[in-house]
Structure 1
Amino acid sequence: MPTLRAPLVTLLVTALLGLGTASLPSEPHLTPAASYLPRLAVQGRAPTAAVLVQSSAAGPGSFRSTGPGIRYADRFRAGSITKTFVATVVLQLAHEGRLRLSDRVERYLPGLIRGHGNDGRRITLRALLSHTSGLYDYTDDGFARPLSALAAIRTATSHRPASRPGLFTYSNTDYAVLGLVVQRVTGHGYATEIRRRVIAPLHLTGTSLPGARTTLPAPHGRGYSRDPAGGGLTDATELDPRTAGAAGELISTLADLNRFYAALLGGRLLPPAQLAALLNTAAAQGDYGLGIYPERLACGVTVWGHNGRIAGSYVRTAASRDGGHIMTYRIDTDILSHADTLEPALLEAEFCPARTDHGP
């Protein structure tokens, strides 16, 4: 599994309110992932963890939370899961013939990617989608807090490329650029196109792109940023999402994310050719598709989805290839201790049928 999938932890945040309690009518069964959930709180040091699992074989979704901090209907910041929404729009535009994935950035944004070894004449839209552009990740600049895509791209191009084009190097800058490409092609901002093409058709009533709004829609709980050194928690419920933009500003719910990925993988949002392109990991040497990535579990099962990390929130969606079995979990902080072992174990608990060690 590639590293630094959603490195938007450095967002400038302010503090303030939110409230959460965990309640939902009793579910017909306790899923393996739900049985594993307490480990995220105990070993992962998450204030609260919650999971929603849906399967065509299991009927209604099963929601569980480790405590009162996360409710079923809570809105939360989904971070880099925004990228799958943006990629879906770009691929729909490709199907409509309004752009080609082989097009160079220069065609749509002439002169924007230049300087310090950066050159938009050599970077394709496919390279942006697959994180193989080599562009420096603007969130790695500890001094910059860009509040627009143009400012983010200027920050990135003030640095030399992070890698040579063609190598997989996760960069939020790629999707900042794609957001501007969508605007140039359609005449509308990427948020407008996501609402029209994805949110409205799928009736994702808990999903929004806040723009400059610093607060979360109700209902919502609190989000906390953990100090990596001292471990202390700071309220990060409010923040300026413009720093994340097309790379990570999305707000959503557990149920909406499950519905979105089920529809995407089930072929309801993209025709077969574009869905195949979405899942083609060749450009990124098997690490990443186009706004989505695979993870091969120890039992040999491969799940598809994305994660999102932003100040105060971490979320991960994983699904079977056809979207029929899908799980989204989240914690109300941006750092999960022992994530390299806890998250794969949680996925294996749910998706590996032979696994029996699900208990806390």
Structure 2
Amino acid sequence: MVASTAAALLVSDAGAGVSPGGALQRDADAVRDAGAIGVLAELRHDGGSARVRSGRAALGSDAPPPPRSPVRIGSASKTFTATLVLQLVGEGRIGLEDTVESHLPGVVRGNGNDGRRITVRRLLQHTSGLPQTFDLPGGESEAEYTKHRFDFHSPRHAVDLAMKHPPSSRPGTGWEYSNTNYALAVLLVEKVTGNTWDQELSRRITIPLALTDTYAPGNTPYLPGAHMRSYRQFAEGGRWTDTTDRVVRHMDGEGSLVSTPSDVNRFLRALLDGELLRPAELHEMQRTVKVTGQPMLEELGMRYGLGLMRFDLSCGGHYWTHFGDVLGTSTRGGVTEDGDRAVTVAATGNGDHLYEEMHRDAFVPMIDRALCGAAE
């Protein structure tokens, strides 16, 4: 556990707020006590909003996390990318039942991988059977991270590495999470539009929604302004490695975005409110399949749509989200089905051995209480 000082920041849009002793603050402190170093959270709903923070901005400092700290949101980026693809579906430029081969000829080929048998839907749904890419170095140890943190690799390179491995399953036969799917989604967006993925992201999502703190870092390894430092514990009991500064170009649409809890909440509410997709495409996004092969997620009843995860709420109904984990930072949250309430929490300080306790015992209860209205 990481002992640290807690602090609260109150923000009210319409007279609503959360007191330092309230449930949202206590839940942020619980994330800190589960192993995180710094925690930021924002709850937003039609009645107002509240932000809290806990822990420290950096090891060796007593300063709390900056209230608008940018963070790497990891795989929460996938929902943004799926939204871009579905916008193109709504424009008739892509079909969900189109094959990958029809748009990206020759890209998915070799060792049993066959783009003629994989549809766009299967990419976004993680039912393509494509192998995960583990060949890029930098995530296994402190020494490896330090050596490779400024390496540059494109999404196409990540796909090419994946093609050196056989499929994990036959397309359409089951759910299996693979970042390769969303590296391909980036290539698909770029091929169909003639623009880069980040240009389309800006034009279609971040500028229309005024997400001023959300961007794709490209080859830039540093975060802007005042921010929390990120830390990874590569082995239980090992020392914390500062993982804040790194190049994540290869992750682009599957995990590279920098954002803030406030911007993520704005995006999620806009998505569920129908500001970004027509009803037909939003409906397709919310058609889910059963998750298999990950016991904790199965236990929590997770189902997966097109770039969206669905979980039950204790107060009834569901919420929609997408987890994000990168070296040193974890992002969790969700939005209710009606788009009324959204919460996002970003925490620095993670490790494989901390994942389950932090997720099940801290993140999940926090999200449930916030979306069920128990955090006021």
Q: Assess same fold via TM > 0.5.
A: yes
Q: Partners of 1:146 and 1:281 in 2: how far apart?
A: 35
Q: Pick from 168, 192, 201: which aligns with 1:162?
A: 168
Q: Pick from 312, 324, 337: which aligns with 1:308?
A: 324
Q: Residues 205-237 of structure 1: CA distance to partner in whole angstroms, max 9, x if unpaired?
A: 001101111111113221111123334211111
Report the CA distance shift for 1:283/1:186 in structure 2 as closer, same or farther (over 3 A): farther
Task: Please name the residue that 2:287 is paired with.
Answer: 280
Which letter maps to 1:66? S
Number of equivalences = 331
Which letter maps to 2:90? H
Q: Could you tell which deviates more after superposition, 273-282 or 33-42? A: 33-42
Q: Pick from 320, 344, 359: which aligns with 1:328?
A: 344
Percent of paired sites with the same residue: 37
**Normalising to structure 2: TM-score of the pair?**
0.83
Question: Is this contact kept in 1: 2:317–2:337, CA < 8 A?
Answer: no
Question: Cα offset for 1:25?
Answer: 4.7
Q: Partners of 1:253 and 1:246 in 2: how far apart?
A: 17
1:184 aligns with 2:191: yes
Report the CA distance shift for 1:49/1:246 in structure 2 as closer, same or farther (over 3 A): same
Q: Residues 56-103 of structure 1: CA distance to partner in whole angstroms, max 9, x if unpaired?
A: 1x32x1111113422221111111111111111101111111110110
Q: Partners of 1:213 and 1:35 in 2: how far apart?
A: 35
Q: CA RMSD in A?
A: 2.2
Q: Partners of 2:168 and 2:186 in 1: how far apart?
A: 21
Question: Is this contact kept in 2: 1:168–1:287, CA < 8 A?
Answer: no
1:81 aligns with 2:97: no
Question: Cα offset for 1:35?
Answer: 2.5
Matches within 5 A, 1:85-124: 85-124=80-119
DSSP 3-state at the match of 1:121: helix
Matches within 5 A, 1:166-315: 166=172, 167-282=174-289, 287-315=303-331
Unmatched 5+ stretches in structure 2: 1-5, 58-64, 139-150, 293-301
Report the CA distance shift for 1:181/1:95 in structure 2 as closer, same or farther (over 3 A): same
Report the CA distance shift for 1:26/1:93 in structure 2 as closer, same or farther (over 3 A): closer
User: Greater RCO between the two (CA within 8 Å, min separation 6)?
Assistant: 1
DSSP 3-state at the match of 1:112: coil
Q: Partners of 2:86 and 2:27 in 1: how far apart?
A: 36
Q: Partners of 2:290 and 2:109 in 1: how far apart?
A: 23
Q: Partners of 1:324 and 1:228 in 2: how far apart?
A: 40
Q: Residues 333-357 of structure 1: CA distance to partner in whole angstroms, max 9, x if unpaired?
A: 233450233222222222345x7xx
Q: Partners of 1:278 and 1:284 in 2: how far apart?
A: 16
Task: Please name the residue that 2:44 is paired with.
Answer: 54
Task: Please name the residue that 1:29 is paired with.
Answer: 18
Unmatched 5+ stretches in structure 1: 1-20
Task: Please name the residue that 1:149 is paired with.
Answer: 155
Task: Please name the residue that 2:29 is paired with.
Answer: 38
Task: Please name the residue that 2:61 is paired with.
Answer: none
Task: Please name the residue that 2:148 is paired with.
Answer: none
Which letter maps to 1:130? Q
Question: Cα offset for 1:26?
Answer: 5.9
Task: Please name the residue that 1:5 is paired with.
Answer: none
Task: Please name the residue that 1:7 is paired with.
Answer: none
Q: Partners of 2:85 and 2:273 in 1: how far apart?
A: 18
DSSP 3-state at the match of 2:52: strand
Question: Is this contact kept in 2: 1:146–1:152, CA < 8 A?
Answer: no
Task: Please name the residue that 1:350 is paired with.
Answer: 370
Report the CA distance shift for 1:96/1:283 in structure 2 as closer, same or farther (over 3 A): farther
Question: Is this contact kept in 2: 1:33–1:347, CA < 8 A?
Answer: no
DSSP 3-state at the match of 2:287: coil
DSSP 3-state at the match of 2:304: coil
**Normalising to structure 1: TM-score of the pair?**
0.86
Q: Partners of 2:259 and 2:154 in 1: how far apart?
A: 21
Task: Please name the residue that 1:12 is paired with.
Answer: none
Q: Partners of 1:189 and 1:148 in 2: how far apart?
A: 12
DSSP 3-state at the match of 2:128: coil
Question: Cα offset for 1:149?
Answer: 1.4
